Amino acid sequence: MEMKDGAGRSYRVTVRALAGLALVLLAYPLARIFWDFEIDNTEGWNAFLQARAIAGLPIYDTGSPYFFNNYPPLSFYLVGALSTVTGDVNLAGRLVSFAALAVICLAVRSIVRSAGASRLDGWFAAITCALFFAGLLTDHVGKNNPQLLAHALVLSGLAVYLQGEAGARRAALAALLFSAGVLAKHNLVCLPLLVGVDLLMRGPGRARLAYFATGTAMAAISGGLLWLLAGPAFFTQLLASRTWDITRAFLFTTEILGQFQAPLAVVGLGLLAARRTRPSGLVLAYLAVALALGAAFSGGAGVDANVYFDAYIALAIGAGLVLHQAPFPMARPAMALVINAGVLLYTPAALGRFGVEVLGEMAGREAMFHDDVAYVRNIEGRALCQSHLLCLRAGKPAFYDPINALQAMLMGRLPADTLTGMLRRHEIAVVEIFDPPRHAEDDNPGALVPPPRWMDFQDEVFTVLREEYVLDRVSLSGRFYRPKGDT
């Protein structure tokens, strides 16, 4: 039953105000979906593979030894199928991503409600989840990337599992949803493992059997089909090693923890106090394991804040549970605001960005992107685009995948001079590349500096570009280089 006193009214007003803010903040990524410029270079990478999937072409043997696919296949085929309706794979992927966030928020609400929480507590948790993503992870919302789709599937599995007593059908459906999520993004193992442990500790025998039998069957069927369709290429690329740096992991983790000091304190302590109640104990374990896995994954090359999405979602679920269990109703409005303190502090900057882009910046970016596409399309020969969507729109084939090719060179799967050799031989007609990274040691030689967040090229690539190529264009997509003598 909802509270009818003054504390209840204050809490409702607070939740409604936060809901209004969430809608305002979500308006920007929603509007951006329909503008044709690249949010980041993972969009074009996904779009290439989605287009191949819907065309019936192999997605693990792309015809180039320098373009790799280390993701499971489900998202490429789902988005590819939707593109037959939207007419464009990138637009289809963006719509799926935005819809997936809505599913995640509704699943968060369902999980909180399964604990006996009020409708208002459930909506507060869902709104908090939306605020975390809209306010602090804006560039991941409505982006053509399978991460949010995978989380939507996995979190729906948890919602199904917690809706009632753990029976065989419920456990089997949860396992199916977990399997689908892992087939969209392979590292979402946190919730499937925790639910498996929870079933082993307290689940009835039929539910255990259904969960593990369904999961095992899905793994066997998926593995067999992937071997038949792609051969060893899928497993080779999925399991390919990459560099890992403890300094990067430490700095990345402290950055994330710094964003969430307030909700971690309130939610973490609240869940710890209620750990013996269901599902607070499971959600506390979810938060702890998500942070641990995020810290482990964050040291890997090429990863982004998405390795912490499970922690963001666990905090949102925990927020609803903690407010539901709050011993002092008068404290709920203040607790709700403290949990969202990071978003509230960042809101002026987010709204400023929204205003600037809506009032002309997005139109300008689209126009410049189309100019860049026309420029690349008019150049005959092979193109290397750090912005994959640029090459896709220009009709250039998927040729070179910078981050994965670099890792293949660093780990010895490709010769170290693979790219520099092609550049010295002028085998690439145009190179589009973001500004070369500026390292702190450039200003302070010998200083101990952290590794760059993202690294797509060896430093010597920029040296060879200066020696063998000329800068022909500078635009929204970066710098464009042509071989000397060809311009």
| pLDDT tens string 191-247 | 999 999 999 998 899 999 999 999 999 999 999 999 998 999 999 999 999 899 998
Residue 95 has pLDDT above 80, yes or no: yes
Residue 449 has pLDDT above 50, yes or no: no
| pLDDT tens string 104-140 | 999 999 999 999 999 999 999 999 999 999 999 999 9
**Structural domain spans, the chain:** 6-352, 365-483
DSSP 3-state assignment of 478?
strand
State the amino acid at position 455 in one-letter form: M
The average pLDDT across 138-150 equals: 96
The neighbour count for residue 103, using CB atoms within 10 Å, is 17
The average pLDDT across 350-379 equals: 92
Percent of the chain at pLDDT exceeding 90: 76
Residue 290 main-chain phi, psi, to 5 deg: -60, -40
Residue 439 has pLDDT above 80, yes or no: no
Give the DSSP per-residue string, 45-101: HHHHHHHHHHTT--SS--S-TT----S-SHHHHHHHHHHHHHS-HHHHHHHHHHHHH
CA atoms of 268 and 111, how far apart (whole Å): 17
Residue 28 has pLDDT above 70, yes or no: yes
Q: Which residues of 227-243 are buried (b: 16+ CB within 10 A; e: fewer)?
A: eeebeebbeebeeeebe
Identify the residue with better confidence: 144 or 447: 144
SS3 content of the chain, % helix, strand, coil (to 5): 65, 5, 30
| pLDDT tens string 257-268 | 888 888 999 999
How would residue 167 be classed by pLDDT, with cut points 50, 70 and 90? confident
CA atoms of 406 and 202, how far apart (whole Å): 46
Percent of the chain at pLDDT exceeding 70: 94
**Full-model pTM:** 0.93
Residue 433 has pLDDT above 80, yes or no: yes
Residue 8 has pLDDT above 90, yes or no: no
The conformation of residue 4, written as its DSSP 8-state character, comes to -
CA atoms of 477 and 31, how far apart (whole Å): 21
Give me the pLDDT at residue 453, please.
59
In 260-401, which residue ranges form alpha helices assigned H by DSSP? Answer: 261-273, 280-297, 309-324, 332-339, 341-356, 362-377, 388-393
The average pLDDT across 458-484 equals: 93
Give me the pLDDT at residue 2, please.
47
Do 253 and 295 meet the contact criterion of CB atoms below 8 Å apart? Answer: yes
Question: Which residues are bridge partners to 364 per DSSP?
Answer: none
The average pLDDT across 297-326 equals: 93
State the amino acid at position 128 in one-letter form: T
Residue 442 has pLDDT above 60, yes or no: no
Give me the pLDDT at residue 436, please.
64
| pLDDT tens string 368-408 | 999 999 999 999 999 999 999 999 999 999 899 999 999 99
The average pLDDT across 330-337 equals: 91
Give the DSSP per-residue string, 367-415: HHHHHHHHHHHTS-S-EEESSHHHHHHTT------HHHHHHHHHTTSS-
The neighbour count for residue 56, using CB atoms within 10 Å, is 7
Give me the pLDDT at residue 448, please.
44
Give me the pLDDT at residue 452, please.
59
Give me the pLDDT at residue 438, please.
53
The alpha-carbon radius of gyration of the chain (Å, integer) is 24
